[in-house]
Every structure is written in structure tokens, then in C-alpha cells.
Amino acid sequence: MPWKPRQRFTVTALGRAAAERYQSAIRAAQQGASPRAALDQAKQEWADGLKLRSADGIVLEDLVAGHGSLAEMQETLDACGLTLRDARGTLDRLKAAQLIEPLEAADRV
């Protein structure tokens, strides 16, 4: 879906739970003897369980933090080297996993 930069999204209850699991996995990985390798593995395991990509957790975190559109996430996207095209793909995957919904769809429920 060609999401517009100002399209707003809301995080579902499943999305909030997934974000909490992501944060827990990150914290646990950072405590290990080899944090970088553990971090990469933790992100991948989290993503595999949801049929996502490991970098998708970063966008989900931004949405949970209140950055409800791609335009509001631009700083994070730049910091992670994600293009708008990459981020749109992430939004598609997060929506398919029922972790987020376009705001208008959430308003109709």
C-alpha cells in the first residue's frame, strides 16, 4: 500500500504486547557477554515469531511512542538508514500482523 507520509496509524493491543516483547528481548540481549550478536539474534527471533523483519521493531517502537505517521518518524528512519519505501513495507507487514491499523479504520470499529 502506498502509505502517505502523513497517514496516521494506531497500535493495536497485539501491537503493544509485541512491542513489550521486543523491548524485553532487547534488554535481555544487552545484558549478555556479546551484546551485539545477542541483540541481532533477539531481534531476529522476535521478528520470526511475527513474520516480520528484524528492523520492523524499531518502527513499531516509534508508533508506540506516539509517532503516528511516517512524517513523524523521519528522524528515526534517517538514523536507521530506512527509506520511505522501506518504512512503507514495514507498515504493510505490521498491519498484516495486526499490530497496527490506519487511524481511520480504527475509528470505524
Residue 2 domain flag: no
Residue bearing cell 496509524: 9
Cite the beta strand spans of the chain per DSSP E: 9-11, 100-102
Number of domains making up the chain:
1
Residue 3 domain flag: no
**8 A C-beta contact, residue 93 and residue 1:** no
Residue 91 domain flag: yes
Residue 93 domain flag: yes
The pLDDT assigned to 105 comes to 47
Residue 18 domain flag: yes
Quote the pTM value. Answer: 0.88
* Enclosing domain of residue 29: 9-108
Q: 94: exposed, middle or buried (C-beta count within 10 Å: 0-12, 13-18, 19+)? A: buried
pLDDT by 10s per residue, the chain, length 109:
678 999 999 999 999 999 999 999 999 998 878 888 999 999 999 999 999 999 999 999 999 999 999 999 999 999 999 999 999 999 999 999 999 999 974 444 4
Beta carbons within 10 angstroms of residue 4's beta carbon:
12
